[in-house]
């Protein structure tokens, strides 16, 4: 039994700036990290491994240097990492990306049963939250998004019950397996790698699957398979803030000022 976690290597967005002329990310010198939401997906897969003894495979579609991020997955103890990389996969939008990932999972599922696929809820660079659901659709798995807890998992009966974190409430959903989960940060606390596993991971193999392996129609991958493309990236303009009152000298007066302002903008109801 194999649990698959999908991860993406993303630029460390706290260090990213946008080129004002070309409206593209300035990528030079920006370190790459594992998409933070995906670290929780990976951790959940490892917890299933700890609990049920299943194996864990990690997939990532990206350029060859994404191998570095896959090694980080190896260093926390996954069994198999596969980099899906081919020139023809480049320039993919969320649809084309989910085509490649779904094909890879499908291939894995031919060797070994894959009851669960786990993804982060979204990436911090694209922020679309579409790839996970896209994979689920293409694989015919039930999609359970925004999961913050697996309430119950019955691998024998093929059932899963999860808690979904929605705005202001939680929703408990039960679904048959196989399923695809997208997870939020509250799901778990990712483990810290131990040194022996790290040292082993430094030299462990990262499998490379290109389109010769996946045999996808060129019209369904990469730029050609992408019905959407980025027209422009820009930082939204923001109103200038102001400091009101004297919070230290006159806290009560400042609160009144604030309430008046909020009332004036219809942001507060009396």
Partner 1 sequence: MSVNPVLFGSLLAAAFLFFLWNCWQRLALVTLGGGADRFDRPGERFKRMLLFAFGQKRVLARPFGVNHAVIFWAFLILLLANGSFLVEGLFPTFTLERILPAGVYHGLTLLFDLASLLALAAVVVAVARRLFFKPSYLDSAYVKGRSVEGFMILSFIATLMVAFFCLNGVRIALGDGGGAMPVSALFAALLSGNSPAALEGIGIIAWWVHALVLLAFICYLPLSKHMHILTAIPNCFFQDLNPVSLPPREEFIPGKPGKSYGVGRVDDFSWKDLLDGFTCTECGRCQDACPANATGKPLNPRQIVHSIKSNLLANGNLLKAGRPPLVPLVGEEGEGTTTEDAIWSCTTCGACLVQCPVLIEQMPKIIKLRRHRVEMLAAFPEELLSLFENMEQRSNPWGIAPGERTKWTGTLEVKPFQAGVTEYLFYVGCAGAFDSRAKHVTVALATLLDAAGVSWGILGRDELCCGDSVRRLGNEYVFDRMARANVARFKEQGVKKIVTLCPHCFSTLKNDYRQYGLELEVLHHSQLLEQLVAQGRLKPAVQNGQGKLLFHDSCYLGRHNDTYDAPRAVITAATGSAPGEFGRSRENGFCCGAGGGRMWMEEQLGSRINLDRVKEALEQEPDTLCVSCPYCMTMLEDGLKDQGAEQVRVMDIAEIMAEAMVPR
Hunting for tokens 């990469």 — which residue is that?
222
Q: Taking a C-beta distance cutoff of 8 angstroms, is the pair 32, 10 a contact?
A: yes
Q: Identify the residue among 151, 166, 199, 223 touching partner 1 (CB under 8 A).
A: 199
Closer by beta carbon to partner 1, 21 or else 203: 203
Closer by beta carbon to partner 1, 120 or else 132: 120
CB of 69 to partner 1, least distance (A): 12
Q: Identify the residue among 167, 192, 212, 227 touching partner 1 (CB under 8 A).
A: 192
198: contact with partner 1 by CB under 8 A: yes
Express the helix, strand and coil content of the chain in percent, nearest 5 each.
35, 25, 40
CB of 186 to partner 1, least distance (A): 15
Q: Taking a C-beta distance cutoff of 8 angstroms, is the pair 159, 174 a contact?
A: yes
Neighbours of 139 (CB within 10 A): 21
Q: Where are the alpha helices (DSSP H) in 141-250?
A: 195-203, 211-214
Give how far Cα 30 sits from Cα of 12, 124, 126, 212, 213, Å.
7, 14, 16, 31, 31
Q: Which stretch binds partner 1 (CB under 8 A): 49-57, 98-106, 189-197, 252-260?
A: 189-197
Q: What is the pattern of x (binds partner 1, CB under 8 A) and - over residues 73-112?
A: ----------------------------------------
Among residue numbers 7 through 46, which ones bind partner 1 (CB under 8 A)? 12, 14-15, 31, 33
Give which of 56, 58, 55 is closest to 66, Cα–Cα. Answer: 58
CA 115 and chain centroid, separation: 19
Q: Identify the residue among 11, 90, 193, 245 touching partner 1 (CB under 8 A).
A: 193
Q: Which stretch binds partner 1 (CB under 8 A): 54-62, 124-132, 135-143, 200-208?
A: 200-208
Residues that bind partner 1 (CB under 8 A): 12, 14-15, 31, 33, 189, 191-200, 202-203
């Amino acid at each position: 039994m194999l649990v698959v976690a999908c991860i993406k290597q993303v630029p460390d967005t706290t260090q990213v700036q946008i080129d004002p002329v070309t409206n593209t990310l300035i990528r030079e010198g920006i370190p790459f990290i594992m998409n933070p939401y995906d670290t929780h997906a990976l951790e959940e897969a490892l917890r299933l491994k700890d609990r049920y003894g299943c194996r864990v495979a990690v997939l990532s579609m990206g350029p060859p240097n994404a191998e570095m991020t896959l090694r980080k997955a190896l260093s926390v103890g996954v069994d198999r990492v596969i980099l899906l990389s081919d020139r023809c996969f480049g320039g993919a939008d969320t649809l084309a990306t989910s085509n490649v990932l779904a094909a890879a999972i499908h291939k894995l599922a031919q060797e070994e049963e894959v009851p669960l696929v786990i993804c982060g809820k979204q990436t911090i660079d694209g922020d679309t939250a579409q790839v996970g659901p896209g994979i689920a659709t293409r694989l015919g798995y039930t999609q359970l998004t925004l999961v913050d807890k697996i309430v119950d998992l019955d691998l024998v009966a093929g059932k899963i019950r999860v808690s979904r974190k929605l705005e202001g409430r939680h929703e408990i959903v039960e679904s048959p397996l196989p399923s695809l989960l997208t997870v939020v940060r509250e799901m778990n606390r990712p483990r810290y790698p131990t040194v022996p596993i790290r040292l082993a991971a430094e030299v462990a193999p990262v499998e490379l699957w290109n389109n010769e392996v996946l045999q996808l129609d060129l019209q369904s991958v990469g730029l050609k398979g992408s019905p959407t493309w980025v027209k422009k990236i820009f930082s939204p303009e923001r109103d200038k803030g102001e400091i009101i009152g004297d919070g230290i000298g006159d806290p009560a007066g400042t609160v009144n000022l604030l309430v008046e302002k909020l009332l004036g903008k219809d942001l507060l109801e009396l």
